[in-house]
């Protein structure tokens, strides 16, 4: 059996990579993808703990997360499309109306 710690560590690393992706990349879509990566890493950690505790609830939760993530991706991408209809760019730095 592989120690749970390894899985959780892997999850942390993937999460961090996702964070870096959100902060570094300017293409809105790649940022979104990074967010999905972060979600997945969380899922991984959940499944690892579910297996360690022999509790199926963890996996059910992961199932729900996946469902919600799917919904969220749909809506989020629709939003992106709507925004970029007007902005005509995929550079998220251009969306700075929160400025000030």
Please state the three-class secondary structure of 10-61 as a single string: HHHHHHHHHHHHHHHCCEHHHHHHHHHHHHHHHHHHHHHHHHHHCCCHHHHH
42 binds other proteins (CB under 8 A): no
Specify which residues 27 forms β-bridges with: 91
Which residues between 60 and 99 bind other proteins (CB under 8 A)?
60, 62-64, 66-75, 77-82, 84-86, 90-93, 95-99
Residue 51 sits in the site that holds other proteins (CB under 8 A): yes
Q: How far is the CB of 42 from other proteins (least distance, A)?
A: 11
Quote the least distance from Cβ 74 to other proteins, whole Å. Answer: 5
Footprint on residues 2-21 left by other proteins (CB under 8 A): 2-10, 12-21
Distance separating alpha carbons of residues 30 and 35, to the nearest angstrom: 9
Q: Is 59 in the site for other proteins (CB under 8 A)?
A: yes
């Amino acid at each position: 059996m592989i120690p749970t710690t390894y899985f959780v560590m892997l999850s942390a690393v993937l999460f961090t990579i996702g964070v870096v992706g959100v902060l570094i990349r300017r293409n809105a879509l790649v940022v979104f993808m990074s967010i999905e990566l972060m979600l997945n890493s969380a899922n991984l950690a959940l499944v690892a703990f579910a297996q360690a505790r022999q509790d199926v609830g963890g996996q059910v939760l992961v199932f729900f997360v996946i469902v919600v993530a799917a919904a969220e991706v749909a809506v989020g991408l629709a939003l992106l499309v709507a925004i970029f209809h007007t902005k005509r760019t995929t550079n998220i730095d251009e969306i700075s109306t929160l400025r000030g």
